[in-house]
Amino acid sequence: MYPNAIFVGFALVSTTVAQTPYGLTWNFNSSNFFDNFNFVEAPDSAFTNGFAKYVSQDKAESNGLATIADSKVRLGVDTTNNYAASSTGRESVRLQSRESFDNGLLVADFAHIPVSGCGMWPAFWIYQGETSSSYSEIDIIENVNGESRNSHSFYTSEKCTVNRVIPDVSERTEDCTYDREPGQGCSYMAHEGTFNQGFNDNYSIVATQIESDGIKIWYFNEDEVPEDLRWDNPAPQDWSVEPSLHITPDDCDFDRAWRLFHIVINITFCGGWAGDIGGVWNNPGTLGEKSCAAQTGQVSCKAWVGENPGDFEDTYFEFNSIKLFQRS
């Protein structure tokens, strides 16, 4: 008995210390942000049928769509010009990180996320779509119009079902496989106050942990940021704040399903989600708010977005930094 007990005790100790600590791999901030991202020049109609025209870095910098001030990186949309509903759409930006990563802890420190009434569809997300043989996508900040909860969607070309630990509701199935039924995947609504102005009032940091045993997403307000994270030495297993989302593998190899991620930041308008054709323009919000058609008195999303530049002055992302931590 005695030797066994000692052995068991020893084994427990060695498993708890076995986890290699996270080290800082990327630190994108005002000093190097644009060196680490490409601006993708294209109409959003090439991607999601949105009413946005993504401009080049030169144009974004000269028009004030991409700026650096007070150690913050600001990415926004044109707030002065009008656009015909028949045009490509409002000028905006789409940035994609040059490098990719497979796993780790991605920590985005936001000074601001986009806010607006109607028509906007911003996204801060990670994906790999460069090779046709596989696909992975995790949406970290995304929703439309006046919604107040952030929507996290997961897509992979691998056969992949997951267990939902947190939250206790999901919009779609626990089958994250993308090509089983095109457009499907799994999707989870974060808690109230995680999108639009509610986020800006309360939060600054969103941390996404992707490892073979699970994916977690935390929201931190200024007072809650763990001390170890402030010092670039995060130990998420010790954090006292519960994640807002936690999924674990059911029938899924997470190392194969979730990998080769590029960070993408884009803001579009209308399109397949926010718009009036196939989108939610005519539907009430998820908490029962008036539809955008009812709020604006405009049946066409494109007409509203095209004619109301001043409405999008708060439709911008502002970053303090984006950091990636990995176990060596």
Ligand X SMILES: *[C@@H]1O[C@H](CO)[C@@H](O)[C@H](O)[C@H]1NC(C)=O
Query: Token pair for residue 97?
Result: 């990180």
Query: Token pair for residue 323?
Result: 């950091």
Alpha helices (H) along the chain: 2-17, 57-62, 196-202, 227-230, 254-257, 271-274, 292-296, 301-307
Q: How far is the CB of 26 from ligand X (least distance, A)?
A: 8
Q: How far is the CB of 260 from ligand X (least distance, A)?
A: 15
Compare residues 48 and 134 and give the one whose CB is closer to ligand X. Answer: 48
Q: How far is the CB of 5 from ligand X (least distance, A)?
A: 42
3-state secondary structure of 30: coil
Residues 76, 114, 122, 249: which binds ligand X (CB under 6 A)?
122
Q: Enumerate residues 232-291 that contact ligand X by CB under 6 A.
A: 266, 268
Binding mask 198-227 for ligand X (x = CB under 6 A): x---x----------------x-x------
Compare residues 108 and 123 and give the one whose CB is closer to ligand X. Answer: 123
First to last CA, the chain: 38
Compare residues 67 and 202 and give the one whose CB is closer to ligand X. Answer: 202
The reply on whether position 193 binds ligand X by CB under 6 A is yes
Q: How many residues bind ligand X (CB under 6 A)?
A: 19
Residues 23, 25, 29, 259: which binds ligand X (CB under 6 A)?
29
- Distance, in Å, from the CA atom of 315 to the CA atom of 90, rounded to the nearest integer, reads 12
The reply on whether position 38 binds ligand X by CB under 6 A is no
Residues 22, 37, 39, 44: which binds ligand X (CB under 6 A)?
44
Compare residues 129 and 214 and give the one whose CB is closer to ligand X. Answer: 129
The reply on whether position 48 binds ligand X by CB under 6 A is yes
Q: Tell me which residue has tokens 């954090």.
A: 239
- Distance, in Å, from the CA atom of 126 to the CA atom of 140, rounded to the nearest integer, reads 8
- Between strands 94-97 and 66-69, the pairing is unpaired
Compare residues 177 and 266 and give the one whose CB is closer to ligand X. Answer: 266
Collect all residues with Cβ–Cβ distance below 8 Å to 323 and sequence separation of at least 6. 24, 26, 27, 28, 106, 107, 109, 232
Compare residues 73 and 215 and give the one whose CB is closer to ligand X. Answer: 73
Q: Enumerate residues 52-111 that contact ligand X by CB under 6 A.
A: 71
Compare residues 123 and 205 and give the one whose CB is closer to ligand X. Answer: 123
- Between strands 52-54 and 42-43, the pairing is antiparallel
Instruction: Tell me the backbone φ, ψ of residue 245, rounded to 5 degrees.
Output: -140, 140
The reply on whether position 326 binds ligand X by CB under 6 A is no
Listed residue (50, 46, 112, 114) closest to 318, CA to CA: 112
The reply on whether position 50 binds ligand X by CB under 6 A is yes
Instruction: Tell me the backbone φ, ψ of residue 156, rounded to 5 degrees.
Output: -145, 150
The reply on whether position 187 binds ligand X by CB under 6 A is no
Compare residues 29 and 233 and give the one whose CB is closer to ligand X. Answer: 29
Other Cβ atoms within 10 Å of 33 Cβ, number: 18
The identity of residue 257, as a single letter, is A
- Distance, in Å, from the CA atom of 302 to the CA atom of 270, rounded to the nearest integer, reads 6
Query: Token pair for residue 243?
Result: 């994640």
Q: How far is the CB of 283 from ligand X (least distance, A)?
A: 18
Q: How far is the CB of 52 from ligand X (least distance, A)?
A: 7
Compare residues 27 and 63 and give the one whose CB is closer to ligand X. Answer: 27
- Distance, in Å, from the CA atom of 88 to the CA atom of 302, rounded to the nearest integer, reads 10
Tell me the window of 6-14, 23-31, 101-109, 154-162 that interacts with ligand X (CB under 6 A).
23-31
Which residues contact ligand X by CB under 6 A? 27, 29, 31-32, 44, 47-48, 50, 71, 121-123, 193, 198, 202, 219, 221, 266, 268
